Amino acid sequence: MATLDCDVVVVGLGNAAQAAAASAHEAGAKVIVLEKAPEKKRGGNTWFSHGAQFRHYHNGIPDVKPLLPHVPESEWEKIDLPPYTKDDFYADIMRVTRGRSVPELAELLVNESYPTVRWMRESGIQWEILYTDAKPEGGRFRWHHGSSFIHSKDGGAGLVDMWHRILQSKGIEVRYENGAVRFITDEKNAVRGVVVQTPEGLAEIRCKGRIVAADRAGCDLIVAQGIEAGGHVRGKIGLLALLGQVLPAVRVPVVAAGGIGTGRAMAAALASGASAVRVGTRFVAAEESDAHPSYVKKLISAEAKDTVLTEAFSANWPNAPHRVLRSSLEAAQKLQGDVVGERAYAWEPNVRVPVPRFTSLVPLKTHTGEIDAMPHWAGESVEGVTKIQPARDIVRELAGEAEELLRRWSAPSGNGRRPNHP
């Protein structure tokens, strides 16, 4: 079986795939793109996306002008385009999905929407004004609030062709009639490549680990999350063992996450070489937190052994392991019915909506119902949660204890050796 090596393998040749290939190449990675179809039928579903509309936040005409440099000023004078802010975009996502979108992913989509379409324009994608979404009014064109304003030239087919020319100009290798058959994984189930069905038979394309790819893709920092973390967990091994793998492999700062709820744990991560730490569970009990009082009370009385890693609360986010208090899982399993309570929309506090059983939404102060049967995110650092405190006091406590321990650990004893301080 033939074997090839690269930094990044991209499977597919639609808009998302070609954008990913171009971005990775810009970051200095060696990229191979696999397309199962022959060259004349490239593009996947993007080819059939009539209009290829791209919604993004903006503050009106001043923001969209750079996307359309070929549009004359006389045409802009006939256009009325109200601003569409980040808050507007986020609220629309939550409204049409009835609050079921994952907040973190929705925020990521919103925040990156305008930078992405601008980057695509700078990369060579040509946008056009989407007049079909406008309402003609007295010789002018007005877009309703939230209507899409741009689409790619010549629709989906045009978008595929423009990306094709961009990839060719960058010298990115595209292998047509090469279909991915299965992933190649290591002993820890990390993806290290793909087995490909080519016209000549099977071949292996091996790529660097995702951590190295993130470094080369231009990330400013990397968060290394251990399996001890609360909430959604991608980690597979303990934090210290993970830092031992990540730190030698990258050049950017590494933020340690998972199981850090005391100054001692913070000091241990920093002493291992992490540049910073990420703390979650402790701040659920901060005075500024919106967590439900019952949830906070359970955290204060819990120990590390009271947490469990599960996929039970995945009704709206499947295949996403998470760590919760075992008591909340048991309560949800015992509960009869499909609804555990109600909650309010952040943007419409007077509107109450049901909370499905086994959804990933944590209980907030506005939630009512069977609070104990809602997911109580908690990391193994939960023993560090002993009381409700202002967030500033939590930071001072963690930093102060860590600083003192690091100072003591690094101070030589009278015999010139570093003491074995507790």
Q: What is the secondary structure of 212-244 as a DSSP string?
A: HHHHHTT-S-EEEE-TT-SEE----S-HHHHHH
229: domain CATH number is: 3.20.20.70
pLDDT tens digits along 381-395: 999 999 999 999 999
Q: What is the mean pLDDT of the chain?
A: 88
Q: Do 180 and 246 fall within a single domain?
A: no
Q: Do 40 and 76 fall within a single domain?
A: no
pLDDT tens digits along 74-125: 999 999 999 999 999 999 999 888 888 888 889 999 999 999 999 999 999 9
Average pLDDT over residues 174-194: 84
Site of tokens 């998302």: 16
Among 106-115, 200-209, 301-310, 328-337, name the one with the lowest average pLDDT.
Answer: 200-209
Average pLDDT over residues 370-379: 97
Is residue 54 a part of any domain in this protein? no
Q: Do 174 and 261 fall within a single domain?
A: no
The distance in angstroms from the start CA to the end CA of the chain is 55
Coil, strand or helix at 255 = strand
Q: Do 411 and 292 fall within a single domain?
A: yes
36: domain CATH number is: 3.50.50.60
| Cα-based distances in Å from 417 to 233, 264, 407, 414, 422 | 39, 21, 14, 7, 15
The pLDDT score that the predictor gives to residue 217 is 54
- High-pLDDT (> 90) share of the chain, %: 57
Structure tokens at 326: 């075992």
Q: How confident is the model at residue 3 (pLDDT cuts 50, 70, 90)?
A: confident
Is the Cα torsion angle 138, 140, 144, 150 positive or negative in sign?
Answer: positive
Q: Do 169 and 127 fall within a single domain?
A: no
| Cα-based distances in Å from 228 to 305, 321, 383 | 11, 12, 12
The pLDDT score that the predictor gives to residue 191 is 77
Structure tokens at 158: 């045009």
The pLDDT score that the predictor gives to residue 207 is 83
Phi, psi for residue 300 in degrees, rounded to 5: -60, -30
Q: Do 237 and 284 fall within a single domain?
A: yes
- High-pLDDT (> 70) share of the chain, %: 92
Closest CA to 278 of 324, 249, 243: 243
Phi, psi for residue 316 in degrees, rounded to 5: -115, 5
Closest CA to 29 of 20, 17, 39: 20
Is residue 342 a part of any domain in this protein? yes
pLDDT at residue 376 is higher than 70 = yes
Structure tokens at 157: 């087919």
As separate numbers, helices (DSSP H) first and strands (DSSP E) second, the chain gives 13, 21
Give the residue, 287 or 147, on which the prediction is more confident: 287
Asked whether 276 and 247 are in contact (CB, 8 A), the reply is: no
Q: Do 311 and 166 fall within a single domain?
A: no
Is residue 55 a part of any domain in this protein? no
Question: What is the extent of the structural domain holding 167?
Answer: 2-49+160-212
pLDDT at residue 52 is higher than 70 = no
Closest CA to 54 of 162, 163, 167, 153: 153
Q: Do 316 and 231 fall within a single domain?
A: yes
Is residue 143 a part of any domain in this protein? yes
